[in-house]
């Protein structure tokens, strides 16, 4: 649908869905979209009650464009915060619902310190690490952003109704799902890419192997965002995912808010957000991806992965991950078994 | 003294100390050596009671030669084990005296599994991590080696008298200090280089910042031995040294015995120790140092550090550390601002 809207505009796509006249969409998918459109309740009423921010709006966060065709069509936004301002200097803190006391304490402590340093904390509003991260940020001066897998008006989990109310006072509760929609397993997974793309870096505080937090970490890695993890006891299942990310060199080991900021801090860090124009895509690249980009030959020169790794001074698996991410971001184009710079990659 | 003995032989040096006729030794040092020689008690009696192994003996562990001039003059050895056999497939587990229950459990568990896999565990016989490591290894089939900072017959700490007796049954209690000598702060620090040099890799299980275990880690790093650390809670002082080693990329994050063995395991790992001839120095190099060595130009070609880092695919600080270690190990020679291979580096 992202591709359809990019090609024809949202209104033409909606008309095409209703009349069954969309080009290049197979029958099954067209039928599913038709069903969703007819089940859409009362969009005018939704828009009267909640803000809906779309690409091109002044408060659309440009960094979401790194998601390419998977960019959200728009975001439902509730709360007093400014979406672009709250997400420009932001860190995602994510982790297990079944967190230990250690994880909860570390998450709230880190979030509070990041908030003190002018960074908003982004998380998913769930039990455990997410809630601790939001609460820690609320204790400081910066807004916190909860990205939900359900409608922004759906109190899920129900026990977090007061937490979401507190978040709305200064920060934001956002979702790409329309109001009234309930969370599903698929919506959680799809939501995670927005957490990773919106923030400058993702910190996994506690995560069991094969958990949702690792899914967010995977998105951050693919998007060339800074990926960090908090180490924990090797005897704790809920730290095993973190220790493993560190061990494999996918995540940087961080033990304090200062170390997190050292990781995401770039030149121009303390410059206020530029009033117009999104954060440039290159600003959001990881250090490794920038090194890969710098190692590319100019013009239309093609280079193989081993040579890139050598020139960038990176282990081959890391270089390969960066190449894939840079390709997804439109910086590089595959050419046979190698890569070359695109116009965007050449900085034009 | 290492230099003197290498140049003139031990007997000539001892005679020179006694008569005050040593060349190239300043007065203060010569006087200190004279005092130590006259305070030496009854060496013949010591030799009747304890083995003394020196370089060139069949059971001298060749890897100690990597210490260069700082190589021990000899090692006093007590116990049923074979020194060379026990140290060829060996891992040092080191850490805090004031270890937490977490550290003690992890140390004994890892030691037991390493022992099961045919690796001896080397440690320093102290309270905390050291004792847990020795005890864990004793529970398995492989010998454990305690390297003391006092004489092999001095029960320090006194509470470990039974532990040392158990170690002697299959393994070894060794020291470069003569029998009867008490431990001092300096002897602990000097002893740590022997722990690092004797083992194929060092694992820091728990360590506070600026602790003795980090001193051993530093020696392992300098000697290009595999350096590993066990991650722990960021809220625990006694894990801060470990997390920091990991964070700085000096130590590899390991969470199990299998991961430790993956780190030190090399081709030929399961080949029994070669009856004669020491383990080659190159076998003991870290993966990074081998990559640096492979990146060096042949013959007498000189290369600068930035180019080495690039060719080896390593960050510059890591490459610099390796270059320094390889120079200390006699593989490389400094030439202006660059390095070139020595005959040893060229594999001759």
Q: Let me know: does A95 contact A215? Beta carbons within 8 Å.
A: no
Q: Do B314 and A313 touch (CB under 8 A)?
A: yes
Contacts of B253 in chain A (CB under 8 A): 231, 243, 246-247, 253
Q: Do A247 and B240 touch (CB under 8 A)?
A: no
User: Averaged in consecutive runs of 10 residues, what is the pLDDT profile of chain B (348 residues)?
Assistant: 88 91 87 87 91 94 93 96 94 97 97 96 98 97 97 95 97 96 93 97 95 93 94 97 95 96 69 41 75 85 86 81 83 86 77
Each residue's pLDDT, cut to its tens digit, for chain A (348 residues) gives: 888 988 898 899 999 999 988 888 888 888 889 988 888 888 899 999 999 999 999 999 999 999 998 999 999 999 999 999 999 999 999 999 999 999 999 999 999 999 999 999 999 999 999 999 999 999 999 999 999 999 999 999 999 999 999 999 999 999 999 999 999 999 999 999 999 999 999 999 999 998 889 999 999 999 999 999 999 999 999 999 999 999 999 999 999 999 999 999 754 454 433 333 344 567 667 778 888 888 888 878 888 888 888 888 887 877 888 888 888 778 898 888 888 888 878 774
Cα angle A74, A287, A82 (rounded to 5 degrees) comes to 30
Q: Is B161 on the interface with A (CB under 8 A)?
A: no
Q: Do A310 and B315 touch (CB under 8 A)?
A: no
Q: Is B311 on the interface with A (CB under 8 A)?
A: yes
Q: Do A255 and B232 touch (CB under 8 A)?
A: no
A264/A286 Cα distance (integer angstroms):
8
Contacts of A316 in chain B (CB under 8 A): 313
Q: Which domains are assigned to chain A? A: 2-40 (no CATH), 62-264 (3.40.50.450), 285-341 (1.10.10.10)
A171/A83 Cα distance (integer angstroms):
9
What DSSP element (H or E) covers A53? strand A51-53
Beginning with the edge strand found earlier in the chain, give each strand of the sheet holding A75-78 in spatial order.
Answer: A51-53, A75-78, A172-175, A144-147, A120-123, A90-95, A201-206, A226-229, A252-253
Contacts of A106 in chain B (CB under 8 A): 234-235
Interface test with A, best of B106, B209, B231, B240 (most A CBs within 10 A): B231
Residue-wise pLDDT tens digits, B85-135: 999 999 999 999 999 999 999 999 999 999 999 999 999 999 999 999 999
Q: Is B190 on the interface with A (CB under 8 A)?
A: no
Cα angle B167, B172, B173 (rounded to 5 degrees) comes to 85
B177/B73 Cα distance (integer angstroms):
10
Beginning with the edge strand found earlier in the chain, give each strand of the sheet holding B51-53 in spatial order.
Answer: B51-53, B75-78, B172-175, B144-147, B120-123, B90-95, B201-206, B226-229, B252-253
Q: Is A303 on the interface with B (CB under 8 A)?
A: no
Structure tokens at B196: 């690092």
């Amino acid at each position: 649908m992202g591709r359809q809207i990019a090609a024809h505009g949202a209104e033409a796509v909606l008309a095409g869905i209703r009349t069954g006249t969309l080009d290049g969409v197979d029958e099954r998918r067209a039928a599913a979209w038709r069903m969703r459109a007819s089940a859409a309740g009362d969009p005018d009423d939704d828009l009267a009650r909640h803000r809906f921010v779309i690409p091109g709006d002044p408060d659309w966060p440009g960094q979401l464009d790194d998601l390419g065709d998977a960019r959200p069509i728009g975001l439902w936004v509730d709360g007093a915060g400014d979406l672009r301002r709250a997400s420009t200097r932001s860190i995602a803190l994510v982790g297990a619902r079944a967190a230990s006391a250690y994880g909860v304490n570390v998450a709230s402590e880190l979030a509070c310190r990041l908030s003190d340093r002018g960074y908003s904390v982004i998380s998913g509003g769930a039990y455990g690490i997410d809630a601790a991260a939001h609460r820690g940020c609320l204790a400081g001066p910066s807004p916190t952003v909860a990205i939900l897998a359900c409608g922004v008006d759906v109190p899920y989990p129900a026990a977090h109704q007061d937490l979401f109310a507190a978040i709305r006072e200064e920060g934001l509760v956002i979702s790409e799902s329309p109001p009234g929609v309930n969370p599903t397993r698929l919506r959680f997974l799809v939501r995670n890419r927005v957490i990773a793309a919106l923030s400058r870096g993702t910190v996994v505080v506690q995560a069991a192997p094969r958990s949702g937090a690792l899914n967010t970490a995977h998105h951050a890695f693919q998007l060339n965002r800074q990926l960090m993890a908090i180490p924990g006891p090797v005897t704790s299942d809920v730290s095993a995912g973190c220790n493993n990310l560190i061990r494999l060199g996918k995540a940087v080991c961080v033990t304090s808010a200062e170390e997190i900021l050292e990781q995401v801090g770039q030149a121009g860090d303390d410059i206020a957000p530029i009033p117009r124009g999104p954060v440039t895509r290159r600003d959001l690249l990881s250090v490794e991806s920038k090194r890969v980009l710098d190692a590319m030959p100019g013009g239309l020169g093609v280079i193989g992965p081993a040579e890139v790794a050598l020139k960038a001074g990176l282990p081959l698996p890391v270089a390969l991950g960066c190449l894939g991410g840079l390709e997804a971001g439109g910086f590089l184009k595959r050419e046979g078994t190698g890569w070359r710079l695109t116009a965007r990659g050449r900085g034009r």
